[in-house]
A and B are shown apart, each in its own frame.
Chain A
């Protein structure tokens, strides 16, 4: 046990989690050898009589059955707001979670954080349906697929559950409001940041490019899910802003489905197979949550003169900027999304009118500003 604790005590978030999982698998590896004939030494076969005699019929189902309807589905008696990010494995939402929980405590709410572990629209829909069935007081969701989520959101609204969106909107739905970044403005800001970097370099970008604005630059965009409304808005605005200032040839867009490991793989492959690549635009900061040693190709490309601009200004992204692994950072304020989302939902639950769209702030972090931003940001990694 103590050995295991030591193993978990260091390293980056992902590495730590992988080691943790490995440790557990090691526990499992001996299971088959025991076989069925050797009873677990401390196991008592339990009859289900207790479950069936439970007063709450739904509790008969055991662990995961739907609690009784209404906001007070826990022992606290407080209204519950369930926040449903795109996935649990995307750390970008951590600021939002912390802020939302803080706001919930302030407002006397239970805040739940529920999502498919990996980006999975179907599972996200099932989760929302489960929350509607539980009749939680409110749901704040970042939609994986705005079109697919719209009918479910409408079902919840019809059932009396207050549902709003954050980060990734579903504008066609009947959601109460959207709180999050103006993604078009964010994409445009990223493009302007890139233009500034290129201007500083006097038109030079990429390995041995030595070109400038006179000849087309080769660019690739790495984004999350193909259907993600917010990410597509950023891409459109990015391209639109650049188009009038710069001649750019775009390689096919890379989709990492909000997965850090896929972001690593895709970036490593493109920088290895296409060394003439000049620009990478990340619509989210997935890559920079990975350990440095896992992005060697990308680091080589950067050191050879490649220019990278990314959305998101979380602690790991800022760390990467400080290490000169990315030159331009345009951040969103997820904490504000979490805080405002809970606050507005609470107001809505209490019958107040809320605006349909609430944009949160955008910040551009230059290499000169990165140290100060790092000081003011939260590092969620356990040291």
Chain B
């Protein structure tokens, strides 16, 4: 099906289709050229925008988390409250019974504060004596094996210690923020810590488009991964993912790395509190596709709009151009179906209008010509019928049959048979209805048959001979052309001449056709009659009412109707010597 569609050749396409295709191509090609020129520039801009976008995302995430860090660090100011200090001091002094009095109230507040921050899982006050007080109560810890205590036990001033993601007592993924509890005199009493669910990092990326495979990492100052969506990566070096030096060199930035031949966009921002760096990693193709989604939609809308405009404009223009042609074609179709009455009306004077005017003129001429042809044909038929009627008059038939009968009575069978054969041949040629022209050879046969019949009828009062150039024998001639002429010679030329009549029939080619001539040695035509004959022959309108010179006029008219006014009969006569009639014919 598709092959068929492509198999359509331009020559098979309509003019309108061609015009539309041309206009569309002319419209699209410049767009494509423009697009190819701007594509690389667009790519660069897109890449820069993607990096900017990713940087903004990373900055936002870091700012959000940093605010959270500030909040939970402020919660740790709780360590400076009276109850907490009393609780810690009493425990460190071994006064557990007294310390217990404070535990309930502190626990109540720890739980209340825990609820003030989402993702805050627990707040714990741990004494240097190994007692921990949290939102779930009091329990013992071993300071010697507690990493945070070991890290902070020598602190003499406030500092914040961030512990990377690990499992909490209940098996949840948390990271821990801790501060030492320092007395005014610098004595280290223990530490306060907060466990924060790693949902904080996961939720920070909610609603952010980093592409399908994009993700956020948190790495510490050494490049070790503190948080990753895949927990297996936690604790590992991030150097396999991107160059660590790049994120150490600045507080924030973005760059492109390549993994397996594909570009990854990396942007980072380091939190001042924790020293942790938030790194967004996103396959460029995905994030660009995400960012470009709106632009692509806009481009598509624009392209569709332009294309639609081009198509509609092309349609309009092509319709404007092809509609007259289409009308012309329809008109021609009507003409081809013999409807010559329709006329094209075009108000425009452009080429199409001129073509339509020319076409109208052509049709008018054709119509006139056809009318003329029809008229001529009618005349020809009428003349033929008249000629036939004239030639095959009943008395001719009667006389011929009577002659045949006489021959039979005279027992001259041979001549009777000859006459019957000649009469049959004569009638066959005479009644060849529907055939306008015959060959010269057939015409000569017909006239010699006629003369043969007449010789039998009239006795051998005349002689005739036929001498025709063989070259003209195949040429066409109006049927029954010569019979009226020889009949005139027999009836009028040889009038009163019982013997010695002579008819000469000649034929030879001439420059623009050929000529057939009939000459007799009859009485000739006097000048007055000659003038009348010439006048009758020159009367193109045809004087059919006048029966005078009917044979000559009929023959002359038939030639001219069939072949044009330059052809016809030419009569010359010398009174007392004879008459010559020449038929000039094309061929």
Mutual binders A and B? yes
Closest to B235 in A: A52
Is B198 located at the chain interface by the 8 A CB criterion?
no
Q: For the A-B complex with A50-B151, A54-B147, A62-B174 known, give 17 more contacts whose Cβ atoms are closer than 8 Å.
A: A21-B109, A30-B74, A36-B69, A56-B142, A62-B163, A63-B195, A67-B141, A82-B139, A88-B104, A88-B108, A91-B104, A97-B100, A110-B140, A114-B136, A117-B111, A117-B136, A130-B169
Chain A nearest CB, measured from B454 CB (Å): 138
Is B101 located at the chain interface by the 8 A CB criterion?
yes
Within 8 A of A (CB), among B258-300: 271-276
Is B228 located at the chain interface by the 8 A CB criterion?
no
CA gap between A42 and B73 in the complex, in Å: 11
Asked whether A64 lies within 8 Å of B134 as measured between CB atoms, the reply is yes
Complex A-B, nearest 9 residue pairs according to Cβ-Cβ distance, in ascending order: A36-B66, A45-B275, A74-B140, A56-B145, A62-B176, A54-B147, A61-B166, A44-B159, A50-B151
CA gap between A208 and B210 in the complex, in Å: 72
Known: A16-B105, A45-B221. A32 touches B146 (CB 8 A): no
Is A182 located at the chain interface by the 8 A CB criterion?
no
Q: Per-position contact with B for A51-62: 1 when CB-CB < 8 Å, else 0? A: 110111011111
Q: Per-position contact with A for B126-168: 1 when CB-CB < 8 Å, else 0? A: 1001101011111111111111101100000111111110111
CA gap between A24 and B75 in the complex, in Å: 7
Asked whether B141 lies within 8 Å of A45 as measured between CB atoms, the reply is no
Task: From B75, B104, B157, B221, give the contact of A47 (CB < 8 A).
Answer: B221
Q: Per-position contact with A for B167-181: 1 when CB-CB < 8 Å, else 0? A: 111100011101000
Within 8 A of A (CB), among B175-229: 175-176, 178, 193-195, 220-222, 224, 226
Task: From B78, B141, B147, give the contact of A60 (CB < 8 A).
Answer: B147
Within 8 A of A (CB), among B84-129: 96-97, 100-101, 103-105, 107-109, 111-113, 116, 122, 124, 126, 129
Asked whether B162 lies within 8 Å of A116 as measured between CB atoms, the reply is no
Asked whether A62 lies within 8 Å of B224 as measured between CB atoms, the reply is no
CA gap between A50 and B132 in the complex, in Å: 21
Known: A40-B273, A75-B143, A101-B96. A46 touches B150 (CB 8 A): no
Chain A nearest CB, measured from B440 CB (Å): 121
Is B70 located at the chain interface by the 8 A CB criterion?
yes
Asked whether B273 lies within 8 Å of A113 as measured between CB atoms, the reply is no
Asked whether B163 lies within 8 Å of A35 as measured between CB atoms, the reply is no
Chain B nearest CB, measured from A119 CB (Å): 13
Is A335 located at the chain interface by the 8 A CB criterion?
no
Chain A nearest CB, measured from B587 CB (Å): 114
- Which residues does chain A contribute within 8 Å of B81, judged by CB atoms? 1, 4, 8, 20, 23-24
What's the dominant secondary structure at chain B's contact region? mixed
- Ordered by A's residue number, 22 sampled pairs between the chains whose C-beta atoms are within 8 Å are A4-B82, A20-B109, A25-B113, A28-B74, A34-B70, A40-B73, A45-B272, A46-B159, A47-B220, A48-B164, A48-B224, A52-B235, A56-B142, A63-B122, A64-B176, A73-B141, A88-B107, A98-B100, A110-B140, A117-B108, A123-B136, A382-B105
Within 8 A of B (CB), among A72-98: 72-76, 80, 82, 88-89, 91, 94, 97-98
Closest to A115 in B: B137
Asked whether B109 lies within 8 Å of A47 as measured between CB atoms, the reply is no
Is A159 located at the chain interface by the 8 A CB criterion?
no
Chain B nearest CB, measured from A258 CB (Å): 14
Binding site for A on B (CB under 8 A): 62-63, 65-67, 69-71, 73-75, 77-78, 80-83, 96-97, 100-101, 103-105, 107-109, 111-113, 116, 122, 124, 126, 129-130, 132, 134-148, 150-151, 157-164, 166-170, 174-176, 178, 193-195, 220-222, 224, 226, 235, 271-276
Closest to B80 in A: A1
- Which residues does chain A contribute within 8 Å of B150, judged by CB atoms? 50, 54, 59
Is A265 located at the chain interface by the 8 A CB criterion?
no
Is A43 located at the chain interface by the 8 A CB criterion?
yes
Task: From B146, B157, B169, B274, give the contact of A45 (CB < 8 A).
Answer: B274
Known: A46-B151, A47-B275. A102 touches B97 (CB 8 A): yes
CA gap between A112 and B96 in the complex, in Å: 11
Asked whether A117 lies within 8 Å of B107 as measured between CB atoms, the reply is yes
Chain A nearest CB, measured from B178 CB (Å): 7
- Which residues does chain A contribute within 8 Å of B222, judged by CB atoms? 47, 49
Is A232 located at the chain interface by the 8 A CB criterion?
no
CA gap between A195 and B101 in the complex, in Å: 38
Chain B nearest CB, measured from A167 CB (Å): 16
CA gap between A98 and B101 in the complex, in Å: 9
Asked whether A36 lies within 8 Å of B70 as measured between CB atoms, the reply is yes
Most buried by B among A51, A56, A73: A51
- Which residues does chain A contribute within 8 Å of B66, judged by CB atoms? 35-37
CA gap between A25 and B220 in the complex, in Å: 30
Asked whether B83 lies within 8 Å of A43 as measured between CB atoms, the reply is no
CA gap between A49 and B222 in the complex, in Å: 9
Known: A1-B80, A36-B70, A50-B147. A25 touches B116 (CB 8 A): yes
Chain A nearest CB, measured from B120 CB (Å): 11
Closest to A61 in B: B166
Known: A46-B162, A48-B226, A382-B101. A112 touches B122 (CB 8 A): no
Closest to B73 in A: A40
Asked whether B82 lies within 8 Å of A8 as measured between CB atoms, the reply is yes
CA gap between A40 and B274 in the complex, in Å: 10
Task: From A39, A46, A49, give the contact of B272 (CB < 8 A).
Answer: A39
Within 8 A of B (CB), among A255-274: none
CA gap between A74 and B127 in the complex, in Å: 12
Known: A46-B160, A47-B221, A76-B130. A21 touches B273 (CB 8 A): no
CA gap between A39 and B112 in the complex, in Å: 26
Asked whether A62 lies within 8 Å of B109 as measured between CB atoms, the reply is no
Asked whether B160 lies within 8 Å of A43 as measured between CB atoms, the reply is yes
CA gap between A105 and B94 in the complex, in Å: 11
Closest to A127 in B: B136
Chain A nearest CB, measured from B269 CB (Å): 10
Chain A nearest CB, measured from B30 CB (Å): 51
Chain B nearest CB, measured from A251 CB (Å): 32
Closest to A9 in B: B82
- Which residues does chain A contribute within 8 Å of B175, judged by CB atoms? 62
- Which residues does chain A contribute within 8 Å of B112, judged by CB atoms? 21, 24-25
Chain B nearest CB, measured from A108 CB (Å): 13
Task: From A17, A21, A59, A63, give the contact of B178 (CB < 8 A).
Answer: A63
Closest to A25 in B: B116
CA gap between A54 and B65 in the complex, in Å: 27
Closest to A27 in B: B77
Chain A nearest CB, measured from B115 CB (Å): 9
CA gap between A73 and B144 in the complex, in Å: 10
Chain B nearest CB, measured from A75 CB (Å): 5
Task: From A32, A55, A62, A67, give the contact of B71 (CB < 8 A).
Answer: A32
Known: A48-B220, A112-B139, A115-B136. A28 touches B160 (CB 8 A): no
Chain B nearest CB, measured from A155 CB (Å): 15
- Which residues does chain A contribute within 8 Å of B168, judged by CB atoms? 61, 64-65
CA gap between A75 and B134 in the complex, in Å: 19
Chain B nearest CB, measured from A126 CB (Å): 5
Asked whether A40 lies within 8 Å of B160 as measured between CB atoms, the reply is yes
Most buried by B among A1, A21, A28, A64: A64
